[in-house]
Amino acid sequence: MEYLYAPWRDVYFNNKDKNFCPFCHCKHELNEDEKLGVIFRTKECFGIMNKYPYSPGHFMIIPYEHLENIEDLSDKTWLEISHFVRIGVKILKENFHASGVNIGMNLGSAAGAGIAPHCHYHLIPRWQGDTNFITTIGQTRVCGSDLEKVYTTLCKAFKDYV
């Protein structure tokens, strides 16, 4: 049996302060959006760059409420998050020329959620042939884009919708 490792995720799994939620931290640090990678803020949710992106442009949409289960979200929150997921897909296709987009939620640690207590959506742009085998065989993640430019592009694109 082969084992694949993602040691960069260790910071989430072994955080000594089990009550610390990086998403709630971002929710409260309103003057630190650029430093934290917050792309946009709306009434019910916010968008943020993924700290360890699977591809350039990978970001998340997160409700302000610290809830693990999506079934506990209010309809208003769920609808707003869903609305911005659709906009996010459009932005990734138009501004990054993504050939496809993976969207999804890992609900619970058993489903692979690194930050299980606070539900969130991932939007991951994909391009034909971008399987990036170096991650699998070289234990290295290659990001061929300047993440500051990616952040700036996402922020500018979302300004038309927020």
Catalytic residue among 58, 118, 120, 122: 120
Phi, psi of 22 (to 5 degrees): -60, -25
What is the distance in angstroms between the CA of the first residue and the CA of the last residue of the chain?
48
Return d(Cα 113, Cα 133) in angstroms, integer: 22
- Is-catalytic flag, 120? yes
Return d(Cα 153, Cα 40) in angstroms, integer: 12
Return d(Cα 4, Cα 22) in angstroms, integer: 25
Burial of 51 (0-12, 13-18, 19+ CB in 10 A): middle
Alpha helices, DSSP H, located in 37-146: 75-96, 133-138
Return d(Cα 155, Cα 37) in angstroms, integer: 9
- Name the residue with tokens 């500018």: 156
Active-site residues: which are they?
120
